């Protein structure tokens, strides 16, 4: 049992199992290889012999004499049978009923083709007669057409697999014997290697116990130059390093002081009587602001910190407070310092939260915008659902109309959430573009085709104006399709019946691939053009062009174009139409 717990036993077992597994797989593959090789060799020899017999038979008139000579040349292991229809013309197995009969061959689907289609067939079959051990014997049979005296005959050569299987069995025994010898030698080698590794490890274990007792001068003898020797060398270096570290602890105060001065947060340590012990630059800025604003020249700990310290002393835990000084918002964290079992002072962490407060305000404004966008659909969902519950709807048609409104408003909220997630991912840089070489003409026509039904429903002419020749460009086709889908959908929604929406594409030497979505719709007021790519532009009723959408689509489109190093712009006149244009530069070499 101790052997299996030791490194020697584990390493020996691992090597033995690994080599055994490899040799087992190798043995299986070798046996399979020799078996296939023997079968292929027999098939090739029978095929060559059959072709020679056919050739010689066609060159000589005495067919029977040729077949007899051929039968003697191929030996007793190989049998020859010639059929003419169902009659046996020649058989090297005459008087022996162990041969292959016409009925047996005719019933086989493959050899049937030799009789009907004059095809050459090679196949391994189960011999119709049993062997000496009572088991059926396999045989390799070659059948091919043979023309004698102007009549079509069939020539069959077959050879029993018994001799081949004996050769394969002998080969298998030899391979297994070699594998067994290899496993035995591997076992001896693995055990020898394991013991060689374990001996120096035992010495290192003894030395480790000595070091644990405080004897740092203990050395481990280095007897080899391999990894074990390097480990012993590292152990000796460890003893020296322990001594060095003990002496280096006195220098840690200097390191802590430098760390304290480089911290972004202010740190003040002070005694119970209010005497300041240590400060860093951010804390000094806080103290200067405090002394200036409070007109305090005592240079003691600020009163707000002492108040928090007194609370921490009473409650025996850290206290948190906030204060505004000279336009900066500070969060104060005071934690007690213990010495000899009692509180001897405190450490105060001063964190300037001015930028965070600004960020919180931006976040609050963003939440207000989202709330404004969600208020209407939620109100409608609540109102219509209450109407359905209270049976306000008089007819089934009214109920269906109310349910449709609830469904449409839920879809609207879902679109808002998905757009917010997409925009957040893009602005955080977590979206990776997948550049592909796209044929632009077919790409645009496919996208435009998706909106044909909507355009026809609203009575709008929608068409694509693309280059006649094929144009290929590198970009993320999913993201650009998202931009085009948003622009075309906006154009259709804001174009009255009878209007037109045109999607164009061309190449410019300077700007690269340019795409344009132009409509004859209601247009955007001039004072609103600067805000169309902002979040929730459509949610601002003073600048909205319609009641549909979430107001995030154009913001997402702007982020997608920025990710492609392209640009997007808009031109619009009220009651004349709007044109959105964006360009995709040629892909930079690093992107390729």
pLDDT of residue 547: 46
Beta bridge partners of 329: 324
Strands (E), 12-164: 78-84, 87-91, 121-130, 136-148, 151-160
- The per-residue pLDDT for 10 is 73
The reported pLDDT for the residue numbered 456 is 92
What is residue 592's predicted lDDT score, i.e. its pLDDT? 40
Reported residue count of the chain is 592
Burial of 287 (0-12, 13-18, 19+ CB in 10 A): buried
Q: For residue 580, what pLDDT is reported?
A: 95
pLDDT of residue 2: 53
- Flag residues of the chain having pLDDT under 70: 1-9, 61, 76, 94-99, 127-137, 162-163, 194-195, 198, 214, 216, 223-224, 246, 250, 327, 358-374, 376, 393-394, 415-416, 419, 423-431, 468, 535-551, 588-592
How far is it, in rounded angstroms, from Cα 152 to Cα 154? 7
pLDDT for the residue 286: 87
Q: Report whether 566 contacts 584 (CB < 8 A).
A: yes
The percent helix, strand, coil of the chain (3-state, each to 5) is: 55, 20, 25
pLDDT, residue 581, reads 94
Q: In this predicted model, what pLDDT tens digit does every residue of 270-296 receive, in sequence order?
A: 888 888 888 888 888 888 888 877 877
Calpha distance 320→318 (Å, rounded): 7
Say what the pLDDT of residue 519 is: 94
Looking at residue 133, its pLDDT comes to 57
pLDDT reported for residue 359: 63
Nearest CA to 139 among 174, 104, 181, 169?
104
Crossing angle of the two packed helices 354-389 and 396-427, in degrees rounded to 10: 160
The vertex-176 CA angle with 170 and 177, nearest 5°, equals 90
Token output for 516: 């344009």
The pLDDT, as a whole number, for residue 369 is: 63
């Amino acid at each position: 049992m101790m052997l299996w717990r030791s490194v020697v036993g584990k390493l020996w077992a691992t090597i033995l199992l690994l080599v055994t597994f490899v040799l087992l797989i190798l043995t299986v593959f070798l046996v399979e290889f020799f078996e296939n090789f023997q079968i292929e060799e027999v098939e090739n020899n029978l095929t060559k012999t059959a072709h020679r017999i056919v050739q010689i038979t066609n060159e000589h008139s005495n067919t029977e004499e040729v077949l007899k000579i051929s039968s003697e040349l191929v030996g007793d292991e190989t049998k020859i049978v010639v059929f003419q229809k169902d009659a046996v013309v020649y058989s090297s197995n005459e008087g022996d009923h162990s041969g292959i009969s016409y009925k047996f061959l005719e019933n086989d689907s493959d050899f049937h083709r030799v009789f009907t289609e004059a095809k050459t067939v090679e196949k391994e079959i189960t011999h119709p007669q049993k062997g000496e051990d009572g088991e059926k014997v396999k045989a390799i049979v070659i059948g091919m057409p043979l023309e004698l005296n102007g009549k079509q005959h069939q020539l069959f050569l077959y050879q029993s697999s018994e001799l081949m299987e004996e050769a394969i069995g002998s080969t298998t025994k030899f391979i297994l014997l070699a594998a067994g010898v290899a496993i035995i030698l591997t076992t001896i080698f693995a055990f020898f290697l394991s013991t060689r590794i374990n001996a120096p490890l035992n010495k290192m274990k003894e030395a480790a116990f000595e070091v644990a007792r405080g004897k740092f001068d203990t050395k481990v003898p280095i007897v080899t130059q391999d990894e074990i020797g390097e480990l012993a060398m590292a152990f000796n270096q460890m003893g020296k390093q322990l001594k060095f570290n003990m002496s280096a602890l006195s220098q840690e105060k200097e390191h802590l002081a430098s760390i304290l001065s480089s911290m972004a947060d202010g740190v003040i340590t002070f005694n119970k009587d209010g005497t300041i012990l240590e400060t860093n630059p951010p804390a000094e800025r806080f103290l200067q602001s405090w002394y200036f604003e409070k007109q305090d020249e005592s240079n003691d700990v600020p009163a707000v910190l002492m108040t928090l310290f007194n609370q921490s002393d009473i409650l025996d835990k850290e206290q948190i407070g906030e204060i505004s000084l000279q336009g900066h918002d500070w969060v104060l964290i005071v934690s007690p310092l213990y010495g000899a079992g009692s509180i001897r002072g405190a450490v105060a962490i001063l964190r300037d939260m001015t930028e965070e407060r600004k960020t919180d305000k931006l976040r609050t404004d963003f939440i207000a915008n989202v709330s404004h966008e969600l208020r209407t659909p939620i109100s409608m969902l609540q109102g219509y659902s209450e109407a359905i519950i209270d049976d306000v709807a008089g007819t089934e048609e009214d109920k269906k109309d109310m349910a449709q409104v609830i469904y449409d408003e839920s879809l609207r909220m879902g679109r808002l959430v998905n757009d917010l997630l997409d925009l957040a991912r893009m602005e955080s840089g977590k979206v990776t573009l997948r550049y592909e070489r796209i044929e632009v003409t077919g790409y645009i026509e496919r996208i435009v085709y998706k909106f044909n039904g909507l355009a026809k429903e609203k009575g709008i002419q929608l068409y694509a104006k693309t280059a006649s020749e094929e144009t290929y460009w590198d970009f993320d086709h999913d993201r650009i399709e998202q931009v085009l889908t948003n622009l075309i959908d906006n154009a259709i929604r804001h174009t009255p019946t009878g209007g037109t929406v045109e999607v164009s594409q061309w190449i410019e030497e300077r700007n690269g691939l340019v795409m344009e979505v132009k409509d004859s719709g209601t247009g955007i007021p001039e004072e609103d053009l600067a805000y169309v790519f902002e979040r929730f532009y459509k949610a601002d009723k003073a600048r909205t062009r319609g009641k549909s959408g979430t107001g995030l689509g154009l913001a997402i489109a702007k982020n997608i174009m920025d990710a492609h190093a392209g640009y997007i712009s808009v031109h619009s006149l009220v009651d004349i139409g709007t044109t959105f244009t964006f360009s995709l530069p040629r892909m930079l070499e690093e992107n390729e």
